[in-house]
Amino acid sequence: MLSAYSGSAIRSAEAPLLTAGHGDALMQRAAHGLYAAAAGELIESTGGCYGRTAVVLAGSGNNAGDALFAAARLAGRGVLTTAVLTSESTHPQALAAFERAGGRVELLTPASTDHLVSSCAGADLIIDGILGIGGTGALREPAATFVRDISAVASGVVVACDLPSGMDADTGAVNEPVLRADLTVTFGALKTGLLTRAGAEAAGRIRVVDIGLDATLPAPAVFRLEPADAAALYRRPRATDHKYTRGVLGIAAGSAKYPGAAVLATGAALATGLGMVRYLGPRSVADLVNRTHPEAVCSQDSVKSNHVQAWLIGPGA
């Protein structure tokens, strides 16, 4: 089961660690996790790291620090790495580490946009580190035009740092333009926006990097079942079971105008492994249900309440 937290909850969990002077350690843990994930994506998509090309999009906040420190590690593996700064001010220590590792730095301006879009188009990897969980609203110019343009031409793997820039960490609302990620590497814990609405689509696959927040995290705001969780909830049939001990579902659904709703609902119910479906509805629909699912017991008039343990009512009625 996945547990997720709001952006403000994550910042609150980080606060005591930052107050205690552990900010640099948190950033290095995040950067190392981002580097390892990005290197893995490069190896999987191109067969290696050495001689590959990467572009890091870095803004002015701590997300840029995570991305630049990770890019410095990639440069140490022989990746030809360029940092595109969307702001004249970025994380100074991370930028210095990136330059020491041999990374090339470009400042995004309206005049340099076309040239830098061309660089991104051929890159094997793009790391999006423009905005983090503290960002609000859409990207500003010239970053907005830049991201819109590279979204149309980028052919390499896109890895988002913590979350795709322009996505709301709490709600998952996507403020276009957003560079949709193949993989999002998020730090400390899942953010609710990565599991909800358009944010889940923009985030792609998700990997959580543990940076040591477990002791300070509050109760999760959102839970999501994974396939294995859902499978574990099904009661396994026993040798002594029969159709009544495994549960009888009543379905009152469908109509002459929407007969397919009854057929789909019955099929979905039978797929869960219950013991029996009792269908209640118009004769024409009941005939269609029986032709498709002959194991369903159909009635047009009534069903005794003690013959059913649960009801599904409404689809197509």
Structure confidence by residue, pLDDT tens digits, 96-113: 999 999 999 999 999 999
Contact 117, 143 (CB under 8 A): no
CA dist 209 → 84, 127, 254, 273 (Å): 24, 16, 47, 37
Residue 239 tokens, joined:
């040798």
**Residue 180 exposure: Cα atoms within 13 Å on the Cβ side:** 12
**pLDDT tops 90 at residue 235:** no
pLDDT band at 266 (very low <50, low <70, confident <90, very high): very high
- pLDDT digits over 209-223, tens only? 999 999 999 999 999
Q: Give me the percent of the chain exceeding a pLDDT of 70.
A: 100
Q: Which of 160, 208, 218 lies closest to 188, judged by CA? A: 208
- Identify how many contiguous H helices and E strands the chain contains and give both numbers: 10, 14
Work out the number of other CB atoms within 10 angstroms of the CB of residue 202.
23
Burial grade of 204 (CB within 10 A; 0-12, 13-18, 19 or more):
middle
Mean pLDDT of 157-180: 95
The reported pLDDT for the residue numbered 305 is: 75
Largest CA distance in the chain: 80
Look-up of token digits 């301006």 = 109
Average pLDDT estimate for 189-200: 92
pLDDT at 70 > cutoff 90? yes
Rounded to an integer, the average pLDDT of 218-241 is 90
Residue 169: which pLDDT band, with cuts at 50, 70 and 90?
very high
pLDDT digits (tens, 9 = 90+) for 289-310: 999 999 999 988 777 777 899 9
For the chain, the average pLDDT equals: 93
Work out the pLDDT band at 236, boundaries 50, 70, 90: confident
pTM over 0.75: yes
For residue 132, is pLDDT > 80? yes
Does 57 score more than 80 pLDDT? yes
What's the confidence (pLDDT) of residue 135?
81
According to the model, what pLDDT value does residue 287 have? 95
